[in-house]
């Protein structure tokens, strides 16, 4: 391993890095547990049990349980070997724009595993879970404080679920006001796919709003589209081009004037937390991805959580349950009052995620959250400044927020696509950025470094990206068309994997027949 000027070890150069496949590799082909184990062995030694059939009501198993017998080292090694094939935020930079893969402080995990949070059951008497309810109350307080809103629904289990919750509250509010006929939802063309999907799921017709040449929403287009038939606008701020919607107040006023509500997609709240309060901008509902904003792993790393904050107008329509307080005693309101949209999930939501987010908030403090947002913005602008002579920036009118969007015009004529470029990044030890999203530009590359990457890490990333871009411009097509060459698996048929997933294990012999 070599050292850079700061005396920090740098990643090995590509030539010296071990190839990740091949007979001598550290990552051999990994069979399934069912293929390693057999029925004759067991990792545990249990005494034979005498069970009389009458106690089982005739439900006694007739064939042996089809589980593989394995020793503990065999099982352990299988999972550790699989884990080494994963790229993770703990193994390197993960610059996935919009998805915000933040470092997850270990303190979060330690707190979430405290028995008073981890080992409780949702059907326990509330008198025995007062501490957990207090944590939920505190989290609610922080979320309303940071957004200047009147209510919060904690139970949605992801951003998309939060959108559903917020839009259901909007629907309930319209119905309560005798405005149930409103059937159109306006969605800017740069929106995340979950926005139109949510609106359509609730039976709304989706009308797309064009972006202007600066990459933000065209206010005139919003005003022209508003009518007595419009129920809401769903707008992301900062938007998915990494830009602050600077005319958001004017948009909110026009939307309210037309009798509609303003749903804000708050997935990018990490760029403005502690700096801007969305309630001050006129939003009525906004989901907050706890798993993007307040650290915590998501995707393959763990569950998500998408609390929704609501304005004064929508608060009466919030779902149940929510935490109530009577003096020192906390409870959960379980029964939907008049106007409430009812219940979205079986219980109260993701306790583990609440604790991780609250830990992140309390360990940063209000000033620290604002600092994290500013650092995220600084890091994204640093990458932009160091790359924009080689990469092409489609919207260059204002500084970016937490992420920087490039398009593929710099690759024009090279025979190399955004996908090829991303695959070549894997060979250099980086998880690719978000590709082909947002759809408003051709061949999008959306890079989000987050606040926690050091200057050294950012510089190493910049050097790699510059070297790749120069090589692409020099027409070294082979390197890109072949990539990834060092990954455990090369290019996969992602379409087929998504369309025809193989979800059921078939014994090899049966599969061969
Ligand atoms: C991630 C994201 C969502 C959806 O959130 P999930 O938690 O993945 O369901 C919605 N909108 C935007 C802009 C996002 O980045």
Query: What's 244's domain CATH number?
Result: 3.40.640.10
Give alpha helix (H) positions in 70-191: 72-83, 106-112, 115-118, 130-147, 159-176
For the chain, the domain total comes to 1
- What spacing in Å lies between the alpha carbon of 371 and ligand 1's midpoint? 23
- What spacing in Å lies between the alpha carbon of 159 and ligand 1's midpoint? 5
**CA pair distance 153, 258, nearest whole angstrom:** 26
- Which residue in 199, 208, 269 sits closest to 236, CA to CA? 269
- What spacing in Å lies between the alpha carbon of 99 and ligand 1's midpoint? 7
Residue 265 Cβ inside 6 Å of ligand 1? The answer reads yes
Residue 445 lies in a domain: no
- Which residue in 199, 201, 191 sits closest to 231, CA to CA? 199
Across the strands, what pairs with 325?
A: 330
Q: Please identify, by atom number, the ligand 1 atom nearest to the C-alpha of residue 292.
A: 1
Looking up tokens 């002579």, which residue turns up? 389
| pLDDT tier at 512, thresholds 50, 70, 90 | low
- Which residue in 212, 207, 211, 164 sits closest to 186, CA to CA? 207
Among protein residues, the one whose CA lies closest to atom 6 of ligand 1: 159
Quick one: pLDDT at residue 4? 40
- Which residue in 156, 167, 377, 398 sits closest to 265, CA to CA? 167
The mean pLDDT of 127-148, rounded to a whole number, is 98
Beta strands (DSSP E) in 359-496 are 404-406, 434-435, 445-447
Which one has a higher pLDDT value, 12 or 391?
391
- What spacing in Å lies between the alpha carbon of 258 and ligand 1's midpoint? 27
Among protein residues, the one whose CA lies closest to atom 4 of ligand 1: 159
- What spacing in Å lies between the alpha carbon of 78 and ligand 1's midpoint? 32
Q: How far is CA 189 from CA 123, 214, 320, in A?
A: 43, 13, 33
Note the Cα 296 to chain centre separation in Å: 10
Among protein residues, the one whose CA lies closest to atom 14 of ligand 1: 267
In the chain, the largest separation of any two C-alpha atoms, in whole Å, equals: 79
The mean pLDDT of 433-454, rounded to a whole number, is 96
pLDDT of 450 strictly over 50: yes
- What spacing in Å lies between the alpha carbon of 281 and ligand 1's midpoint? 21
pLDDT of 209 strictly over 90: yes
Q: Please identify, by atom number, the ligand 1 atom nearest to the C-alpha of residue 236.
A: 13
Quick one: pLDDT at residue 250? 98
Residue 487 lies in a domain: no
Q: Please identify, by atom number, the ligand 1 atom nearest to the C-alpha of residue 304.
A: 7
**CA pair distance 499, 86, nearest whole angstrom:** 23
Quick one: pLDDT at residue 28? 63
Percentage of the chain beyond pLDDT 90 is: 76
Across the strands, what pairs with 445?
A: 406, 435
Residue 192 Cβ inside 6 Å of ligand 1? The answer reads yes
- What spacing in Å lies between the alpha carbon of 186 and ligand 1's midpoint? 18
Vertex 388 angle, CA 192 and 5, to 5°: 110
If one residue of 100, 158, 160 were mutated to test the ligand 1 pocket, choosing by the most ligand atoms within 8 A of its CB, it would be 160
If one residue of 193, 201, 265, 272 were mutated to test the ligand 1 pocket, choosing by the most ligand atoms within 8 A of its CB, it would be 265
Quick one: pLDDT at residue 510? 58
| pLDDT tier at 36, thresholds 50, 70, 90 | confident
3-state class of 188 per DSSP?
strand
pLDDT of 273 strictly over 60: yes
Residue 406 lies in a domain: no
Q: The pTM is what? A: 0.89
Contacts of residue 486, defined as CB under 8 A and 6 or more positions apart, other chains included, come to: 14, 17, 19, 20, 21, 426, 427
- What spacing in Å lies between the alpha carbon of 287 and ligand 1's midpoint? 9
The token duo for 166 is: 């917020």
Q: Are 291 and 298 in contact (CB under 8 A)?
A: yes
The mean pLDDT of 102-109, rounded to a whole number, is 95
Residue 240 Cβ inside 6 Å of ligand 1? The answer reads yes
Q: Please identify, by atom number, the ligand 1 atom nearest to the C-alpha of residue 265.
A: 11
Quick one: pLDDT at residue 58? 79
Which one has a higher pLDDT value, 373 or 211?
373
Among protein residues, the one whose CA lies closest to atom 7 of ligand 1: 159
pLDDT of 376 strictly over 90: yes
Residue 192 lies in a domain: yes
* Burial profile 203-237: b = 16 or more Cβ within 10 angstroms, e = fewer: ebebbebebeeebbbbbebbeebbeeebbbbbbbb
Residue 86 lies in a domain: no
Query: Mean of the per-residue pLDDT values for the chain?
Result: 91
Residue 209 lies in a domain: yes
Q: Within a 10 A sphere around the Cβ of 316, how many other Cβ atoms?
A: 18
Among protein residues, the one whose CA lies closest to atom 8 of ligand 1: 159
Q: How far is CA 211 from CA 215, 245, 406, in A?
A: 6, 11, 16
pLDDT one-digit tens code per residue, 355-368: 999 999 999 999 99
Residue 296 Cβ inside 6 Å of ligand 1? The answer reads no
Q: Please identify, by atom number, the ligand 1 atom nearest to the C-alpha of residue 98.
A: 15
Which one has a higher pLDDT value, 6 or 178?
178
Which one has a higher pLDDT value, 5 or 393?
393
pLDDT of 506 strictly over 90: no
Residue 350 Cβ inside 6 Å of ligand 1? The answer reads no
Q: Are 438 and 241 in contact (CB under 8 A)?
A: yes
Quick one: pLDDT at residue 11? 40
The mean pLDDT of 492-496, rounded to a whole number, is 90
Least confident range from 42-46, 339-343, 456-460: namely 42-46
Quick one: pLDDT at residue 174? 98
Residue 273 lies in a domain: yes
Q: Are 455 and 481 in contact (CB under 8 A)?
A: no
Residue 155 lies in a domain: yes
Quick one: pLDDT at residue 224? 97
Peptide bond into 321 cis (omega under 30): yes
pLDDT of 285 strictly over 70: yes
Among protein residues, the one whose CA lies closest to atom 2 of ligand 1: 267
Q: Is the dihedral of CA 450, 455, 461, 463 positive or negative?
A: positive
pLDDT one-digit tens code per residue, 80-95: 988 888 888 988 999 9
pLDDT one-digit tens code per residue, 72-81: 899 999 999 8
Q: How far is CA 23 from CA 173, 297, 315, in A?
A: 63, 33, 61
Quick one: pLDDT at residue 22? 38
The token duo for 303 is: 């569950």
> Residue 290's domain spans which residues?
149-363
**CA pair distance 258, 184, nearest whole angstrom:** 12
| pLDDT tier at 509, thresholds 50, 70, 90 | low
pLDDT one-digit tens code per residue, 453-486: 999 999 999 999 999 999 999 999 999 999 999 8
Q: How far is CA 219 from CA 225, 382, 440, in A?
A: 10, 30, 17
């Amino acid at each position: 391993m070599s050292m850079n000027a700061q005396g920090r070890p740098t990643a090995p150069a590509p030539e010296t890095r071990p190839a990740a496949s091949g007979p001598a590799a550290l990552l051999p082909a990994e069979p399934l547990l069912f293929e390693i184990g057999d029925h004759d062995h067991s990792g545990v030694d249990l005494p034979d049990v005498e069970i009389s059939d009458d106690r089982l009501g005739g439900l006694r198993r007739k064939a042996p349980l089809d589980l593989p017998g394995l020793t503990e080292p065999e099982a352990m090694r299988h999972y550790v070997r699989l884990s080494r094939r994963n790229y993770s935020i703990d193994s390197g930079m993960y610059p996935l724009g919009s998805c915000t893969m933040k470092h997850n402080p270990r303190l979060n995990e330690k707190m979430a595993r405290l028995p008073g949070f981890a080992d409780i059951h949702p059907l326990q008497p509330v008198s025995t879970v007062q501490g957990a309810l207090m944590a939920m109350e505190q989290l609610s307080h922080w979320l309303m404080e940071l957004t200047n809103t009147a209510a919060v629904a904690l139970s949605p289990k992801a951003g998309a679920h939060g959108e559903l919750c917020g839009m259901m509250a909007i629907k309930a509010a319209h119905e309560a006001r005798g405005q149930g006929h409103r059937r159109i939802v306006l969605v800017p063309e740069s929106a995340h796919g979950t926005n139109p999907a949510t609106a359509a799921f609730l039976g709304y017709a989706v009308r797309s709003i064009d972006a202007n040449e600066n990459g933000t929403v065209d206010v005139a287009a919003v005003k022209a589209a508003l009518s007595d038939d419009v129920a809401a606008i769903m707008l992301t701020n900062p938007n998915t081009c990494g830009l602050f919607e600077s005319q958001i107040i004017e948009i909110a006023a026009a939307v309210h004037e037309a009798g509609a509500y303003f749903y804000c997609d708050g997935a990018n709240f990490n760029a403005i937390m502690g700096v801007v309060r969305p309630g001050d901008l006129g939003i009525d509902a906004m989901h907050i991805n706890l798993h993007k904003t307040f650290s915590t792993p998501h995707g393959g790393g763990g569950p998500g959580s998408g609390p929704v904050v609501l304005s004064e107008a929508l608060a009466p329509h919030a779902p149940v349950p929510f935490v109530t307080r009577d003096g020192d005693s906390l409870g959960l309101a379980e029964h939907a009052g008049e106007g409430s949209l009812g219940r979205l999930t079986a219980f109260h939501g993701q306790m583990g995620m609440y604790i991780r987010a609250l830990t992140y908030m309390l360990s940063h403090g209000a000033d620290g959250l604002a600092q994290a947002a500013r650092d995220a913005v600084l890091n994204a602008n640093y990458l932009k400044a160091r790359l924009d002579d080689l990469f092409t920036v489609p919207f260059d009118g204002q500084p970016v927020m937490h992420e920087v969007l490039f398009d593929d015009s710099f690759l024009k004529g090279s025979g190399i696509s955004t996908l090829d470029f991303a695959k070549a990044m894997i060979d250099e030890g980086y998880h690719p950025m978000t590709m082909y999203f947002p759809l408003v530009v051709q061949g999008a590359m959306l890079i989000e470094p987050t606040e926690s990457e050091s200057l050294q890490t950012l510089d190493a990333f910049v050097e790699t990206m510059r070297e790749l871009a120069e090589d692409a411009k020099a027409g070294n097509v082979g390197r890109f068309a072949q990539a990834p060459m060092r990954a455990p698996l090369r290019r996969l048929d992602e379409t087929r994997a998504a369309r025809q997933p193989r979800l059921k294990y078939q014994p090899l012999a049966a599969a061969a027949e």
